[in-house]
Structure 1
Amino acid sequence: MATGPLHFDPFEVLQNDKGEPWILGQGSFGTTYKVQHQKLGRICALKVIRDSLVHGSGEGAERETARFFAEVKALANMHHHGIAVVFEYQDRPEEGYFYYAMEFCKGGNLQELVAQEGPLPWPVARWMVLQVAEALKYAHGCGLLHRDIKPANIMLAEPWPDQQVKLIDFGILQPLEGAAGEGQNVSSTHGGEGVFNDATASPEQMLSGMLDARSDLYSLGITLWWLLIGENPFAGQTRAQLITDRLRSDYANELPAHLDPEAREILLGLLAKRPEDRFADAQALITRITGGLLQSSSQIAAPVAQTAAAPPPPAPVLTTPTPYDENYSIPNPGSDLVTKTGQAAIYRVKQRSSGEIVAAITAEAGMNQETRDGLRTAAAAREDLGCYRMLDWCSSANEEYFIASLPSGQSLLEILRKFGSARAQDAVPLLGALARSFDASMARTTRGIRLELADIRVSSRSGQSDLAAFSGWADIDPGSASSLPSFQSDGDQDVGGTLDISSAGPVNPVSRFAALIYRLISGGNPPYASYFTDSGYVMISGLSEEGNHLLAKALSGGEESTKLESLLNRLANLESISVPGKGTNASTSRTQPVAATASASATVAPPPPPPAVPVQAAAPAANKSAPPLPPVSIPTAPPAHPVAQPAGKKSPLVWIIAGAAALIAVAGGVWVMSSSAAKERKAEADRLEALQRKAQEESAAQFESIRLQMEKKEKEEQASAAEEKRKAEEERQKMAQEREEAMKREQEREAKATDLEVKRLGQILDSNSSSSGDKADAFARIKELADKGHLQAIAICGAAYFNGNGTTKDPKEAYRLFQIGVQNKIPRSMRGLGHWHASGGGGTGEPNLTEAIRWYKEAAKLNDADAAMTLGLLYFNGDKGLEPNKVEGAKWFEVAAKGGVPAAMMTIGHSYKLGNGVEVDPERAFQWYKKAADTGLADALVEVGKCYADGSGVPEDKGKAVTIFQEAAKAGNLEAIVTLGRCYQHGLGVPQDIGEARRLFNQAKNQGHPKAGAFLEELN
């Protein structure tokens, strides 16, 4: 039965097709609705606690209410793209509800997806689990456990087949033991035992044991199993059976046989019964999934902006930006955000006139002026940069928007998954379009384009973009390639990243582009080591040997040119492929076939060494004094580490040894055959011995030379490795410094936001128009910030205790807080301490005017205009027993007026008009009245009008005076109404009109002006 709209101010619950409230989910203690903000139009998910808990009483209701508050507080302090954003919170027990509004995820949860689509492929499930692991890493880093990881608590940000997921429902979260950060201030959102999800709880959770990050990982393992088999693996089991099985089994023998081996290995690492046998933490799981080659969305290194070699075209003359709100829809940060880094945020927005969805780029704090100017120029000129077009330049509320075309079509990642690797002749035309667009974008905006496969969109030659429209890589229209400009720097977190490039890998455009080429042609990722040295490169069969060498050099950062088109042209020349020019739609074929595999270097064995030649000369009997030559043995085995030689060439060492052996053999033969005298035989023996010694020395020298060469090479390699290590350490330190600076900027941003909040809360407490409820809420928040040490909050909190604003008066607590502020040189605390002494310790004793004046003056020295105003009043009027001193009072009034206090401007104006404490000076009186009137003070506006009417300090102009009186009268100022009536009565600056004068006098009389009645009688 249809019902009327349900409201949770300021949200209206949307209705489903049956006219009933649109319920997104119901849990143990609340209901989640799909709602719309009535003023902003934002679609959100609204989680509302059950009415029975709102109106209930007792320990159970208090525990559930505390659980709800803890969940809201934890979520509000989390900022991660893998966790749904909390927008607003309301606590309204008097109206019967508590709720919080969070980001609406359009794709539903994974339990619904599995029910509709069946088991998910391992690559899809792996990507989703990786995103959840990153979210858990962040939550655990904040000191919080989720304790309820399950498919129903993992949402698709966009409708399937989009695969970006977000974690929700921290309803049974728990702080980690000994945690720092948010966890130290969050109590467990469940008390007692037995609070867990039967299907996904870890063994230690079921036993109410001590939990750590590994408990969430176990639940993630059960969730992954669920995704891969397409249903709850424990459907139909009782809770007793579940607990028994969970405590008994590691599930090694229960996992389906068809699971991917990698999936099986990861599941076993998650589902170990003992926590110490599982992955140690979320980072260990992330490292295992990425394998050191892929990277997560928060780890993608963006290309470093390079200066283009070719000069950019002449810059057009910039016109005034068009109004944003009149032409484009306002982006919703929760649902319209495409990507966000430290430099820029990109949103999907609608062009109001055409309904086209386009990209709106806004600059973040990290964007430099050169990039801003480049984007502004390109947008103003409506430049077509190839893979995206700049469409407009807009502004709204001091914010610039650069409108660009939004990529459309099928992602290359999906095409790669379906068809596998591409042939070079199919990939190069597409890569040509990307390279030209990257170079053009760098030349104009100093930023390239996104080169991840998931971000590059293409259409088929028939213009279709559905995956079914492609039968292979050849069907891609290379001219259809589209992408977005890239604004990442090394270390940026990006909500739109993909798993394409190693986090340790390419940080320059050429390396990133080389990685994209490798991924398309090989179907896989470049080896980890290839980003550091070309020796770590693994050749791919889709390129020639020369092409592989070029790609290896580019990957390792050895390319000097920063132009991507230059790299691609060189590769195309090596592969004999034509690169189509700009605007070409058809891919071109190679004119020559490319070798299928890279040639391998064959090791050619050296020729066999000569056989050992034993040489031994036996002296003739006639000459016993001739010593025999020692035998010379030439080794027949090669060295332990032979050096491969080119075919047809012998090692120099082999030649030396063989030559020496031959000489010795010849010498021995000559000696044997000789029949000369003993002297000649001895001389020959000596000569042979010398030859042998020389051969041995030359051989030893050759061996020493080889040893020295090897030693030199080893030292060079060690030095190279040390240099690489040094560079890696420098890069690590640079990244750490950048992270520290980013954290510092975030802290400064948060401090600035807190300062603005404190100022707003102080205005609520000081305002006479604020309701008691608003003041009580403001005081509670100020007290919270004061307890955290915020100095301005301490000063405001002390004033609230002193005046009883939003809380009960407490002079003692006010004095304590004032003292803290005074020690930290806070002017408002000094002024408050002055009030405290002037009132006799908050009304508890005799006033101490000396101390009060001392602290007022200390505050005034620090430019506290309100303290100066207080001093002026004390001296001028002689308040609280002080001797009147109009000169001293006028001095302090002028100080306060210069500090911007409107009442002080008015008072010092009177002083100069009447000569109270200063010399009469009509001109200065007029100037101060004018400044006070400019602040909106109606009484000052009347005085300005009187100056014009009387010609006091300004040339007389009764017509202008009447105009000013009319302006003040419209604001309801009684003095202005009476004065204007006198003008009409006597025709001063306006034609005489007794009727109008009577009307004005009656109006003033009815509102209590003391002289209006007398003026009426005068008329009568």
Structure 2
Amino acid sequence: NFEVMNDPEGRPVLLGKGTFGRTYQARHCFLDTVVALKIITERYVADAAVRQRFLTEARAVAKLSHPHIARLYDFGEMDGVLHYAMEYCGGGSLADYVANKGPLPLRQTIEIAQQISGALKCAHTAGFIHRDLKPSNIMLTTLDGPPFAKLIDFGLVQPSVPGATRSFADDQSADGARFLGTPLFASPEQLREEPMDVRTDLFSLGMTLWFLTEGRAPEGGSSAEIAASRLNRESYAARLPANLPLPFRDVLGRLLEKDRKNRFATAAEMFTALNACAAALGFRRARDYTDPAAAIEWEDAETPDKDALDSTKVEPTEIEQVNAPLTSEFNIVTRINEDFTGLNYVGEAIGAKGAVSILHVLHPMLLEDESALKSFRLHIAQLMRVDVVEIMRPKAIKRYADYTAVISDKPGGTDLLSVLRTEGTVRLIDAAPLLEKIADACDQLSAGGLPGAQLAPGRIFVESANDGLSKAQVRLCPRYLAVSEAPELARMNEPEDVSSTMTTDMLGDPGRADNMGEHFAALLYRVVAGRNCPVAASLAGQGYVAVPGLSEQSNRILSMVIARQVEDSSCGKVLREILNAEGIVPRVPGHSSEGFTQRPGSSTVSPLATPPAAPADSTPAKARPWKPPTVSTPTPVVAKPVPPPVPVTPLPTPVVTMPPASPPAQVPAASPKEPAPVVSEVKVESRRVIEPP
């Protein structure tokens, strides 16, 4: 039934080998699916004990069903040789990953810990101890995107509860209590050849996590040297890497207790502790797949707790003073867009060719508003601590002689707006993986008490988009301040970028302007429809124009969310409801094509379809003239605009046509005779009053 696959040179593709067997990449001849085919080594074909262990592993895996345990597809014997086919994981083992790329970031390490602890909970509940948990026995389904791990190699498993699997126990070879496993990741009781219980696997997972964070295990040398270190009285807690955050140190220290009585009692207890650790650090909670309800529907509890980045425990970032103009540190390359808190530029660090940053030059009115500026600095401090890989984290905020700017590293790739202009419309099934990453990042920020991310396509960067959006990596510009924290500033300084998802009506209502679910729905509309959602749709459902590629149910959900006729919903919930209405579900992890697939049937009732909420009062306050900038110079006489030098990046047709400005090549040092920065002068010329709907 199986055909071993060959590499370009005609040699069988060997995935791994152990003492008793070899694993090859193979193809099922009839189903045309790729599998990992494990075959007993020739020298052990006649060894009854080895054959029994081989059968033991197959039977153990066949009894387990968990997303993070590689599935068994087939078992058989041909010409006296035993073989079994299991799920193929194209990302290789964690041992290979660390050898090639080095230690994992903290967030990925914790995600893998959550996944494998869930797998152990499943195995232990079924009555099995793995006994050989290590990085080479944890596979990644793919190298792209967030890690999705699978536990493999149950060849040394044994019953964890006497009598729990009587028929399985009858199949065990007579190994007794002698040591079996890998010394570098084995527990002290395993090395002492004592009877083991589920806590043995917990210690091995702790050693694996140490390996992932440091790129090596805490010990090295011969098996005897490893055993001597493992069996002495020195605690691993005192040797943990100093850079680990306290919540993770506590979990890892308890896993590595040499006395098993001091470890977590069960994998379930460890799983709960890891989820609490993830929430405390602002990371995503893991689903408990051993709970049937959790496997059917995602819950909002997946996102971190609201106090994950408790603002009462974070001090606002101090503004660093620089007694020189902005151009003393950066050559301004181009102006890219604006936000109600200021203007965004691309700058190249002077003396560091190729070091490109995003410079967010603050509006002088923000610097005058003490309360808003404090909130702004607080959110900068929170963003510096959060570990959301999709978010561009700020590095510093500096007050120069002429401007005050937030500095962040510029991501690679191109902006999503340029991609969409090239692609036109994008099928939802192709855009789903990218939208899922964006939704997850926004929900994590919102759960941490942050204003969220900027979801205008021109402010979303995508990398590796040559294969389409389904496999693109995304980087998001964070929102540094909520509209509700500075409503007057937002109304007076409405962005000119018409590609923004923040409509005039939303700026008139801070509650709507800060509703990330509404922003996300508008972004989803832009991606799938190939055009911006009409502004009128935010005022009433009658102004919504249906997307031809979506079902009536999906269009109804989008219309209600954009018009805010539903309760506030997370971005993830909006996306899940629409995917469900379209009959789109995630593929089996590791599938070689897109991350989602079509299934027959669709949802007919959406939990989002709640009665319309009372419309918010969107009447704005009366606009006042702009004040001249007061960053560090006396009020200048306005002559001509002097923004940081650069040609303006072309934007879609603006709502209000602004007079063109031709910036000079450099921004000269500030002096009392110089004009105001363009950050406020543009607004002096516009003096626009937002008309109520």
TM-score under structure 1 length normalisation = 0.33
Structure (1 or 2) with the greater strand fraction: 2
Bigger-Rg structure (1/2)? 1
